[in-house]
Structure 1
Amino acid sequence: MRSTSPTSAPLALKPPTTYRTNSLGWAKSDCHTCQSTSRSCDRRRPRCDACTAEGNLCGGYIQKLKWQGEGRKTRSARAKQTLVPNSGGREAAPNTTEYAFVQEDGRKRRKRTRIRETSGSNSWEKPVEVSSPTLDADSRVGRRLSGRRTTLTPVLYSRQPEFFQLPSSTLDQLAFFTWRFSPVTLTYEIKANPWQACLPQIDQAPFLLDAVRALAIRHRSHLEETPETLSVLELKDRALSSFAQTIRTVPLEVGISMSLILIGIDFAESASGNWIVHLQGVRRMIEAAGGIQLGDSYMHLRAQIAQLVWYDTIIALLARKGPVFPREDVEYVISWKSESQLMLALNGFPDSAFLDMYDIAEAATQACSLSAGHVTGLEMKLWLARFETEQGATDKEISALTDCWRLGLLLYCTRVFHQGDVVKRKAYLLAEEIMWLVHELPPYSHKQKQAVLPLFLAACEMESFRFRRIAMDFCERWKKISGIWLNQTMIELLQTVWTAVDENPDKDIWWGDIITPSSESGFLFG
């Protein structure tokens, strides 16, 4: 269907209906994205300018997929056409109506040609920003490119995918991923969601679309408590095969997105896995592209790198093998002040203490040879730390969560760096305080969900049924609410530790006796 409009730019966000005779040009209600964020929406189809300007996925509008009108036989005839399988080999659903979106001047929209860097440089250009909603997209980009050099590097987050060509089942999976999975790991909503950053890239990377679909199907089956279909493994295998063949040529942002989605597919099923392979691959891609400073200008890339650095540090704590990312990279991530309290929003951990946690994870690799002064210095930083949060001291839940992390890291230091008869008693006192802090957080608050690692460390010290039941209730509740089965892995690991403790009452059994540095798999509790 075609949309007609006057050639002059409208003076308001929603022009008078007398100047537009086709309802396709403007929606009657805000898009789903603007509604969910309470943001002003200009209601322009097929996606609003507010979402386009920020590089976010526009959720689209409430609309009928089949228009019925008397005396419009040509429209009715076109509505009976079916989708043709696209170039990626995905078959379209039968009897599905195809609608082609067109520009306001009547021309059918075409894909933009991306001009690649021929010199082999790994630097990135700033994405083209939307400056006027009435300008034609192709001509606008053409005018901007005409004043630049003829060889350009790939553009980060510069355009939205051509979603309207995808089968309805795929669109449903993308919607589920966007609205159900992408917020599930966060403490609270932020502008730069690291999971949603991949959505504008899927039309240039079919393997990324396959990976997102696999994650959405797996997550949905967990939430609905239905058996997982074989399509998850088929999509994942196809995505991995294609990614491996093109990993040296894909843009950095696509490679980072793919690595993050692959980690998501795995930890949605289990907290145990060979995570180091993904993290080492990410570090090599970043180094080959020019370094971690590439995230300076792109908030979505910053959020993705911060999330991966977090996973690296959490895995290193339990494995006691040391992080993959060097300390200078972590310092650079923390220096990104434009996203204040990024780690707190993403993972519930105070940003001001993240370097302290990284230093503890690094020190754990040589726990036996550390001096007493070094260990005392690490612990004193935690005792004296003043955690600043965006919500401030009035947010009691955030305050309780940060105290959980403080005590959790102190408990970690007690078990990893100390020996002797007093260790068990000191560890129990810290663990008991953590258990009460977690228990007092609202049971359905996302802030309680973020205390998973401190809770695990504390629960391993518990011998009473009451405290063990608190830990089990936490895992079972968040497994069901989140659909992320790392909580099931935690249940199994806790039961293994408790069995060893109960069978050896005369020995001081701790989680480090079960999770050893020689283990091939790591554990991602966070």
Structure 2
Amino acid sequence: MASVQSPASAASPARSQFIPPTTKRTNSLGWAKSDCHTCASNSRPCDRRRPRCDACTTAGMTCGGYTQVLKWDPHAFQRNFRQNTVLPESLSKTSKELPKPSTFTFVQDQRNGAKKGRRTRKVAERRRREDTTSQQADDVDEAKDKIMSPVSTPAISTSTQETASPPEPEEDDDVEEVGEPVSTVARLPLGSERRHSDGDAHIKSVIYHFDPTVFQLPRAIREQLSFFKWQFSPITLTYDVRINPWQQCLTQIHEAPFVLDAVVALAKRHRAHLQGEPESLQVLELKDRALCSFASHLKVNGIPCEMGITISLLLIGLDYAETALSDWSIHLRGAYRILESSGGIKLAEYNTQLRSQIAQLIWYDTTAALLSRKGPVFPRTYSEALMSWQVDTEWSLLSLNGYPDIAFLDMYDIAVAASCTSPLPDGHVTRLEMGLWLARFDSVHQNQDKNITALTDCWRLGMLLYCTRVFHQSEASQTKARMLAEEIMWLIHDLPANSATQKQCLLPLFLAGCEMDSFRFRSIAIDFCKRWKDKTGLWLFQSALDLMQLVWASMDENPVKDVWWGDIIKPSSGKAYLLG
């Protein structure tokens, strides 16, 4: 086998000169286009043979290999994008179909034929199963279209016929349209599974037990839900609590369309208030749609107790964020009837989430009854049961609304006594007032601090001021009311201006502010209401200020007359003020 010329026997050719082999090369490794690294560094000729040149092999040296020219694909980093790109149908069919080989059948080899027959039957069975699955999917889509059509759900918006396919998460440009349903599966009527036969079990499983990764809400709706969870739900709290009654509403959004509509409407309204912008017309449309859908389901099929309590709380929250003056008894009576029809308060004995929502409703019921003097909607047995089941590690009225739990039954009894049109028994009011004076508030919160102490004292004095004005009508009571009011104003003034404990003093501040005739104390009340209206986005603070200004105007017009808030708020009025 011939070899290339060695440096010792012949003149050295140029470095880049290629020395062809003298015999035919048959190896498949080929030849490099440049010298190896070792020959190039030693400035000697190289035969450029792969994988190791003969010059390095003859010299007993290790061949350093050859330079590899890499051709980078500039679009290689877009591999995922190119894989996910769907070509148009016209381009995908441009290439002609390759000719298929002929099919041969061997009849002599029975064993091989049997194997091939079994394989063919397996493939055929698999294809039949795929066809059956595809047909079932088409049947499910057809059934969903029938169920979600306006004919079967007259109480739901007529736009539900546009929900043939679930919305894509990326398509958030049109989700602000109120006419479109905010959830694909949530548009199904409650209890509609009762109208299906047993043969449609697969339809029910697909409709009601969907995969959240497939049936995903639009991005704009998810943003509203996130805002509701992290911005609105803690706005009414004194401090963080494990069981938040507002956040429990989010667990119902995939089960009822009206719950989702109410949550989105409340989030939109609260966000507009915080940003100082006029709220969109969509808020009223969503609220109206939630009310109509809720009433329709309640009348036709009925709804679960948890869902009824949730929507009642959300509807109160919608009005609560807008104004303190409303007919709160409508939603409260509806929640009470739903709870009674489901078994009463015993239903919440082992349901912590439901207990927290009922406690919030009873709190609104009691505080509204104080100013309206009409009496609470929920019976006292409900409050007694909740207080006996209540655990501070889960929730408490102190954490939810700033009121000490140990004195809540006293507040309830005072609201009931204020609604009595007949004279109260002798000593009844005195016993109520003594219960407030003797209540031990120092053990209601484990991490007791001076702000919580001031908050509980503010509520104690506020309820005593309420009893003085409602149950006593004398000159001595006027002097006592003035002293209690001044003490309340100083307690509120000494609390940190940005603390949640001061925020929870709205009702005591209102009761005390209505007694003030000096500019100094009135300015404290005005600053309190305006500041917390802007910070919380709840306009009930403005409603309290407007009501106090009406009382102040009457006091300024008649300096001699004893004017109090009861002269403005009449028990006979249909609406009530909710300042709790």
Fold shared, TM-score > 0.5 on shorter chain: yes
TM alignment of 1:318-467, pairs within 5 A: 318-339=371-392, 342-366=396-420, 369-389=423-443, 391-392=445-446, 394-467=448-521
Which residues of structure 2 form unaligned runs of 5+? 1-75, 89-140, 149-159, 173-184, 195-204
| Deviation readout 1:346-368 (Å, 9 max, x if unpaired) | 10000000000000000001266
Larger Rg: 2
Alignment of 1:312 with 2:368, yes or no, is: no
* Counterpart check, 1:295 vs 2:366: no
Aligned partner of 1:205 among 249, 256, 280: 256
Query: Helix, strand or coil for the counterpart of 1:322?
Result: coil
Aligned mate of 1:77, from 78, 85, 89: 85
Q: How does 1:11-50 map to 2 (within 5 A)?
A: none
- Over 3 Å counting, the alpha-carbon distance change for 1:69 and 1:246 in structure 2 is farther
* Alignment: residue pair count: 408
Counterpart Cα distance in 1 of 2:362 and 2:571: 20
368-377 vs 390-399, greater mean Cα deviation: 390-399
Residue 171 of structure 1: how far off its partner (Å):
1.0
* Post-superposition offset of 1:203: 1.2
Tell me if 1:501 matches 2:555. yes
Show structure 1 runs of 5+ residues with no match.
Answer: 1-67, 98-109, 120-141, 143-154
Q: Does 1:483 align with 2:537?
A: yes
Q: 1:177 aligns with which of 215, 225, 228?
A: 228
Equivalent-residue separation in structure 2 for 1:403 and 1:488 (angstroms) = 24
> What value does the CA root-mean-square deviation take over the aligned residues?
3.2
CA offset digits 1:376-431 (Å, max 9, x no partner): 11111111110144544741111000000100000000000001111211100000
Question: Could you tell me which residue of structure 2 aligns to residue 193 of structure 1?
Answer: 244
Query: Which residue type is aligned with residue 501 of structure 1?
Result: M
1:282 corresponds in structure 2 to 335
Confirm or deny: 8 A CA contact 2:454 2:495 kept in the other structure. Answer: yes
2:287 maps to 236
Relative to structure 1, the CA distance from residue 433 to residue 517 in structure 2 (aligned partners, 3 Å threshold; closer, same or farther) is same
What is the CA-CA distance between 1:251 and the residue it aligns to? 1.2
CA contact (8 A) 1:92 1:166 kept: yes
CA distance in 1, matches of 2:307, 2:420: 36
| Conservation of the 8 A alpha-carbon contact between 2:238 and 2:398 | yes
Q: Distance in 1 between matches of 2:213 and 2:339?
A: 28
Look up the match of 2:65. Answer: none
Structure 2: how far apart are the matches of 1:160 and 1:255? 25
Question: Is the Cα–Cα contact under 8 Å of residues 159 and 200 in structure 1 kept in the other structure?
Answer: no
C-alpha displacement at 1:333, in angstroms?
1.1
The offset of 1:96, in angstroms, is 2.8
Q: 1:299 Cα deviation (Å)?
A: 1.4
- Per-residue deviation, 1:338: 2.9
1:72 CA displacement: 2.7
Partner of 1:253: 306
Secondary structure (helix, strand or coil) at the match of 1:386 reads coil
**1:205-227 per-position Cα deviation (integer Å, ceiling 9, x unaligned):** 01111111110110000000011
The answer to whether 1:96 aligns with 2:171 is yes
- 1:94 positional shift: 9.6
Gap change, CA 1:163 and 1:269, over 3 Å in 2:
farther
- The alpha carbon displacement at 1:76 in A equals 2.4
Structure 1 runs (4+) deviating above 4 angstroms are: 84-95, 113-119, 158-164
Separation (CA, whole Å) in 2 of partners of 1:463 and 1:269: 28
**Contact conserved, 2:169 with 2:216, CA < 8 A, in 1?**
no
Q: Is this contact kept in 1: 2:190–2:303, CA < 8 A? A: no
TM-score by length of 2: 0.66
How far apart, in 2, do the equivalents of 1:265 and 1:445 lie? 24
* Aligned counterparts of 2:519 and 2:210: Cα–Cα separation in 1: 55
Question: Do structure 1's residue 214 and structure 2's residue 289 form an aligned pair?
Answer: no
Distance 2:453 2:210 in 1: 39
Alpha-carbon distance between aligned partners in 2 of 1:268 and 1:351, rounded to the nearest angstrom: 25
CA offsets 1:282-318 (integer angstroms, 9 cap, x no match): 0000000001111122211111000000000000000
CA contact (8 A) 1:214 1:235 kept: yes
CA distance in 1, matches of 2:373, 2:475: 23
Q: Provide the rounded CA distance (Å) in 2 between the counterparts of 1:94 and 1:115.
A: 25
Q: TM-score of the superposition, structure 1-length normalised?
A: 0.72
Deviations for 1:176-195, whole angstroms, at most 9, x for unmatched residues?
11110010001111111101
